[in-house]
Structure 1
Amino acid sequence: MKVAVLGAGAIGAYVGAALHRAGADVHLIARGPHLAAMRQHGVRVLSPRGDFTAHPHCTDDPGEVGPADYVLLGLKANAYGACGPLIAPLLHERTAVVAAQNGIPWWYFHRHGGPYDGHRLESVDPGGAVSEVLAPERAIGCVVYAATELQSPGVVRHLEGTRFSVGEPDRSLSPRCQDLSEAMRTGGLKCPVEPELRGDIWVKLLGNISFNPISALSRATMRQMCLHAGTRRVIETMMRETLSVAEALGCPVGVSVERRLAGAERVGDHRTSTLQDLERGKPLELDVLLAAVVELAEITGVEVPTLRTVHAISDLLALRSAA
């Protein structure tokens, strides 16, 4: 099994190191000091489950890697539309693209069935630019429940969780999903194949759609947002509106708002990825989290006034931070 990780940051390098440990032919594509450190010392993983070091091939040139069986996308979703020159050398006729992203993916309605089958969401696939680069039939969905961070170049600190749920857009238990799942498990990760992966997408999105933009607007940690009574009420409302959209799409979510909030509070003084991006001057990945659900509310006729308000304010923040 040949695996290319395009955008081997904290999550990508962690998965790549695990797959390399399982015996897969792994190629990490990165840049800068992180790439230099991985080339010299390998990927060092620091984890409560045991530290280890892996030495997969590392490069900044996808052409050096060539076609792979699986391409794991570690890029931010807002970079997908422009990744054509990077991903093209990695593709052969049957290459699967595993998008380890938060939010609503560009393939969401591919082989969805029902009245929205094949519908394209402008917020996540503007003008079809993402689908043109990443054909939906290549997509394997992936919902990440692991938390990692780059402690320093080449050093990944694994904080918690090892689950990477995967699934086909058409809900089939395909050989390519099963083979990937087996390799991930051999490498020490949990990787269930979920026929109804869209349910997992919405469960994770409940937290991302609310905590991520609010954290960027308030500069607050997870715990601080949960303990502030007014902010907690806003987050509860955002979650309930999100659940209404999911239900309108025929995808009931088997988790309560109260349980989701309790889990977030237990995380403690963690800064969301959106807040970290803001502090580092990076683009904010809000379209797939918030704009997409507002667009889904429009096509399903669901009223989401709080989501619309937070979207308007956070979108202005994103525009100003990018200026």
Structure 2
Amino acid sequence: MRICIYGAGASGGHFAVRLARAGHDVSVIARGPHLAAIRQNGLQLKSGHDVLSSVVAASDMPNALGPQDLVIVATKATALPTIAQNIAPLVGEDTLVLFPQNGMTWWYPVGLPARHPAPPVIPIFGLARPFLAAMRPDQVLGGIIYSANEVEAPGVIKNNSPAHNRLEIAAIDTVSADSREGGNPAQDSGSPHSRGRADAPERIAAIRNALAQAGILSPDPGDIRAAVWTKLVNNMSGSTIGLATRSTSDGAGKDVALSEIYRRLMREGLSIAAAHGYPLDLDPDRMLARLLNHKASILQDYEQRRPMEIAEIVLAPLAFARAAGLATPTLDTVAAIVTKLAKDRGLVSADVEVAL
């Protein structure tokens, strides 16, 4: 399979090494010292006691690589506006494009079943139009990453969850299903394309199989939007507490007061998801016990002064809560604190305060 990893940072670099070692034709889009190191020495992955290396084609120009079978957009959500303007050369008529970002994602309203409440207008949803100018909705896959990674040095990825690496993927296009159920396909957000592929389930199954053979679990998540809410509720709880306290995610389980804040955030997140049509079977105490001894990506970004996913992980669920008329006092408080931290370092854009 011809696979391009757009953004070979922490998670993307991890996937690139494993997929290349599994025999796939892997290329990466990277930049700066990381790109230079990959070109010179390849990519190295440290996972537990294993050190894995792979040589992959690397460029900072998508048009140098050409159309792919699969593109995995492995950047943070903050990089998506630039990618939307540059991804087209990688996308052919049969390319599938996987978006496994944290937080609320650009494709959520695309083909959203009409039986669900209309989502609020938030900045990331504006990316649907430029992305769908480059690909059809049936070419878009949603993805959820459960894997703790960091860039240890240029060209070197460290995986902090060697026994827990999972990438759930599924099609986002529900237009056909909506038509059968009397829904409204017009929620397709302006795509100029309409042709789908009858073999989409087989192609998705082949990607899951490729990931599994590469050592990355890839179970069928079922409803991909429910899976997005599951990860988002986790991130808006454990990750934001870790950011506010500058600690690893499991810090919330080691302090009585923080544990209670975590439970309150989880309960509010579950109420928000349910109000928008996605009731989730998550137990806050069970989730608290599963938190990893790992700095969440949002804290890594804060410490390294990189653009932060505050809008997608923190303010998006707050906007959904307000659209549903829900009171979320704990999320309101935590959102104000972490947004202030990000603003003070200039790590968020001017429009992130829409939900506050």
- Give the TM-score taking structure 1 as reference length: 0.90
- In the alignment, is the contact (CA less than 8 A) between 1:184 and 1:191 conserved in 2? yes
**Cross-structure match for 1:56:** 56
Task: For 1:51-90, list aligned pairs within 5 A.
Answer: 51-90=51-90
**Cross-structure match for 1:32:** 32
Specify the code of the residue in structure 2 equivalent to 1:150.
V
Instruction: Report SS of the residue matched to 2:124.
Output: coil
Task: For 1:145-184, list aligned pairs within 5 A.
Answer: 145-160=146-161, 161-170=164-173, 174-184=201-211
Specify the code of the residue in structure 2 equivalent to 1:158.
N
Distance 1:118 1:242, change over 3 A: closer
1:205 aligns with 2:229: no
- Give the TM-score taking structure 2 as reference length: 0.82
**Cross-structure match for 2:188:** none
State how far apart, in whole Å, the 2-side matches of 1:166 and 1:89 are: 23
Superposition deviation, residue 7 in structure 1: 0.9
Specify the code of the residue in structure 2 equivalent to 1:165.
E
State how far apart, in whole Å, the 2-side matches of 1:96 and 1:134 are: 13
Superposition deviation, residue 289 in structure 1: 1.0
Specify the code of the residue in structure 1 equivalent to 2:228.
I
Instruction: Report SS of the residue matched to 2:18.
Output: helix
Superposition deviation, residue 118 in structure 1: 7.3
**Cross-structure match for 1:292:** 316
State how far apart, in whole Å, the 2-side matches of 1:154 and 1:304 are: 42
* Deviates most, 36-45 or 7-16: 36-45
Q: Percent identity?
A: 32
Q: For 1:232-256, what per-residue CA distance to the aligned partner results, in whole angstroms no more than 9, with x for missing partners?
A: 2222111100001111222222220
- In the alignment, is the contact (CA less than 8 A) between 1:71 and 1:95 conserved in 2? yes
- Between Structure 1 and Structure 2, how many residues are aligned? 317
State how far apart, in whole Å, the 2-side matches of 1:220 and 1:13 are: 24
Superposition deviation, residue 283 in structure 1: 1.5
State how far apart, in whole Å, the 1-side matches of 2:55 and 2:6 are: 16
1:187 aligns with 2:214: yes
Superposition deviation, residue 93 in structure 1: 2.9
- In the alignment, is the contact (CA less than 8 A) between 2:298 and 2:308 conserved in 1? yes
**Cross-structure match for 2:344:** 320
State how far apart, in whole Å, the 2-side matches of 1:228 and 1:117 are: 37
Superposition deviation, residue 231 in structure 1: 2.3
State how far apart, in whole Å, the 2-side matches of 1:85 and 1:108 are: 19
Distance 1:227 1:48, change over 3 A: closer
Superposition deviation, residue 49 in structure 1: 7.1
State how far apart, in whole Å, the 2-side matches of 1:139 and 1:55 are: 28
Specify the code of the residue in structure 2 equivalent to 1:124.
I
Instruction: Report SS of the residue matched to 1:254.
Output: coil
**Cross-structure match for 1:283:** 307
Task: For 1:111-260, list aligned pairs within 5 A.
Answer: 111-116=111-116, 119=119, 121-125=121-125, 128=126, 130-135=127-132, 137=137, 138-160=139-161, 161-170=164-173, 174-260=201-287
Instruction: Report SS of the residue matched to 1:124.
Output: helix
Superposed CA RMSD in Å reads 2.2
1:41 aligns with 2:44: no
Distance 1:240 1:117, change over 3 A: closer
State how far apart, in whole Å, the 1-side matches of 2:299 and 2:230 are: 21
Distance 1:4 1:121, change over 3 A: farther
Superposition deviation, residue 123 in structure 1: 4.0
**Cross-structure match for 2:8:** 8
**Cross-structure match for 2:94:** 94
State how far apart, in whole Å, the 2-side matches of 1:121 and 1:70 are: 30
- In the alignment, is the contact (CA less than 8 A) between 1:19 and 1:183 conserved in 2? yes
Gaps of 5+ in 1: none
**Cross-structure match for 2:191:** none
Distance 1:119 1:223, change over 3 A: closer
Superposition deviation, residue 38 in structure 1: 1.5
Superposition deviation, residue 131 in structure 1: 0.9
Specify the code of the residue in structure 2 equivalent to 1:207.
N
Superposition deviation, residue 314 in structure 1: 2.1
Structure 1 runs of 4+ off > 6 angstroms? none
